[in-house]
Amino acid sequence: MVLLTKTLPMRWNSNNKKRYVDLNYSFTKMGEEFEVKVEHLPVHAKNEVKVECDYCRDIKGVINHFSKQFANYLSERKYIPKDSCEECKYIKMKENKEYRQEQGILTKDDNGWWTFRENRLLAVKEYLEKYHNFEGLLKNKEGKKLYHNIIKFQELPQNLAIELGYDLENELLYKRKPQKYYENIGKLIRDIQKIIDENKLEFFPTVGMIMKELKIGHRVLKKHGGYIEISRKMDYEPQNLVDNSGFVNRSKYERDTANYLIAQNLPYLREQYPFEGYSFQSDFTFLVKGNPRIIHGEVWGFPKDSTSPRGIKYNINRKIKEKLYKQYNEEIELISIEGPETFDKKTFQQIQENLFKKFSPFFHLPFEQVELELLIPTEDMSDRELFEKVMELSDDEEYLPETNYLKESGYGRYYNQIIKRYKYEEFARLFGKRVRYKENSFWKKEKRIEFFYM
């Protein structure tokens, strides 16, 4: 609070005469010097004044004098009546920002607005009031801004929405197409083909992908004979790239990487957008508290020197992505995994070691040995293996365990696999067992939430 300069020498001229005479200074003669009290200077005065840094004194116990223009001295004290030297500027900026936030006068366009979590919550609320859900979040300008300003702080708009009390299941889900839209199977097949073409899929899209991309419910597929029937009609083998979390991967390499991470209890996000303004997605994203850089993981699908037409195409894209990762390396760290090298023709042990080598420098993994069955998808398990697995939880030899109990106990993935093949009761009958409840709500609820996170 120390303005060291008390008065300044000034010369009378035709511009200042009236001002200072009105302030009771006695006029002597044009061009003659006189002393003006600092408080009488006009607010825009550019005269240098001497001040003391309040922060150097209060924080470091150091006396630090410096000069600045009077006009700046005033304007910099608009909110916080304290002076800061060049070095302490950032401490003051922070104080300033916090003060304005408290007063409710910090606006979205001001620097630092997004640094307040309450503002980020507010932004999510405003966004949802306007758009009602997060569908197309990254396709509009506001959504992109929201997303990028939130992920900087290691969170997602979806998490904040839940915190705000939004019911993800009912309010934030994509809107489905009306039932009648796919009355005609020809149209459905054409649109599924479009998914394959547009995403350059090497496999038949999974149930989840079809439902998500076409914005349809399970009923539409059932109506036309079911997923498997439709895939056969289109001359494809139905594929399963679902990992142990229920997420649909784009390749087996990705799926097995995901299963490894799940077994290591390492949390991650899928299909995030590392580069602002680009539609590229990464395979895995790790938000680590305390690490200012966001870690992204890529599992590359082709060898670098691939000579197949699809491999060549793939690697062109890869090069662009890698260039971007380099460009953004102040904000992003990349874990780069060569799919074929890591997984193809490798023993189970080698795969684990390869993945451990990639991830441990970033996360200090304890390297839990992953049980084979955790890495190998449930789809490769036989009915008998599935049966023996779920019976581990049964408290009555005559009955299969209840489905909710399976899910709560972490056996949900076995259950998911069973009901892909049979109705739960049918499955029980195969092994001469019974079930206690009729099961029907699984697809309705759990699956829908899962799709939202895809």
Closest CA to 447 of 248, 208, 133, 224: 208
Q: Which is nearer to Zn ion, 82 or 389 (CB)?
A: 82
Tell me the closest approach of the beta carbon of residue 51 to Zn ion, in angstroms.
10
Q: Which is nearer to Zn ion, 56 or 160 (CB)?
A: 56
**Closest CB to Zn ion among residues 88, 299:** 88
Least separation in angstroms between CB 71 and Zn ion? 20
247 three-class SS: coil
Between β-strands 294-300 and 332-338, what pairing exists: parallel, antiparallel or unpaired?
Answer: parallel
CB 73 to Zn ion: min, Å: 15
> Least separation, in Å, of the C-beta of 60 and Zn ion?
7
Report the C-alpha gap between 197 and 201 in whole angstroms.
7
Antiparallel, parallel or unpaired: β 294-300 and 48-52? unpaired
Rounded least distance, CB 3 to Zn ion, Å:
15
> Where along the sequence are the contacts to Zn ion (CB under 5 A)?
53, 55-56, 85, 88
Minimal distance, residue 52 CB to Zn ion, in Å: 9
> What letters, b where the CB count within 10 A reaches 16 and e where it falls short, cover 46-83?
ebebebbbbbbbeeeeeebebeeebbebeebeebbebb
CA within 13 Å, CB half, 391: 16
- The burial of 336, by beta-carbon neighbours within 10 Å (0-12 exposed, 13-18 middle, 19 or more buried), is given as middle
Least Å distance between CB 85 and Zn ion? 4
- Per-position DSSP letters for 390-432, written without gaps between them: HHTT-SSTTBPPPHHHHHHTT-HHHHHHHHHHS-HHHHHHHTT
Q: If phi over 0 gives left and psi between -120 and 50 gives alpha, with beta otherwise, what is residue 282?
A: beta
Output 53 or 220, the one with its CB closest to Zn ion. 53
Q: Tell me whether residue 97 or residue 255 sits nearer to Zn ion (CB atom).
A: 97
Q: Which is nearer to Zn ion, 48 or 155 (CB)?
A: 48
33 SS3 class: strand
Question: Counting beta carbons within 10 angstroms of the beta carbon of residue 131, is it exposed (0 to 12), middle (13 to 18) or buried (19 or more)?
Answer: middle
Q: Which is nearer to Zn ion, 82 or 321 (CB)?
A: 82
Whichever of 85 and 124 has its CB closer to Zn ion, that residue is 85
Helices 383-391, 412-421: crossing angle, 10 deg rounding: 140
Structure tokens at 398: 């005559």
Residues 6+ apart with CB under 8 A from 8: 35, 36, 38, 41, 47, 49
Q: Which CB atom, from 58 or from 183, has the smaller least distance to Zn ion?
A: 58
In terms of CB distance, is 35 or 87 closer to Zn ion? 87
CB atoms within 10 A of CB 375: 19
Contact 261, 359 (CB under 8 A): yes
Rounded to a whole number of angstroms, the minimum distance from the CB of residue 72 to Zn ion is 15
Q: At its nearest, how many Å lie between Zn ion and the CB of residue 113?
A: 26
Question: What is the smallest separation between the CB atom of 95 and Zn ion, expressed in angstroms?
Answer: 13
| Selection from 330, 202, 343 nearest residue 275 by Cα | 330
Instruction: Tell the residue number behind the tokens 């874990």, with chain if given.
Output: 335
Q: Read out DSSP for 150-195? A: HHTTT--HHHHHHHTT--HHHHSSPPPPPGGGG-SHHHHHHHHHHH
Q: Which is nearer to Zn ion, 45 or 88 (CB)?
A: 88
- Least distance from Zn ion to the Cβ atom of residue 91, Å: 8
Radius of gyration of the chain from its Cα atoms, rounded to whole angstroms: 32
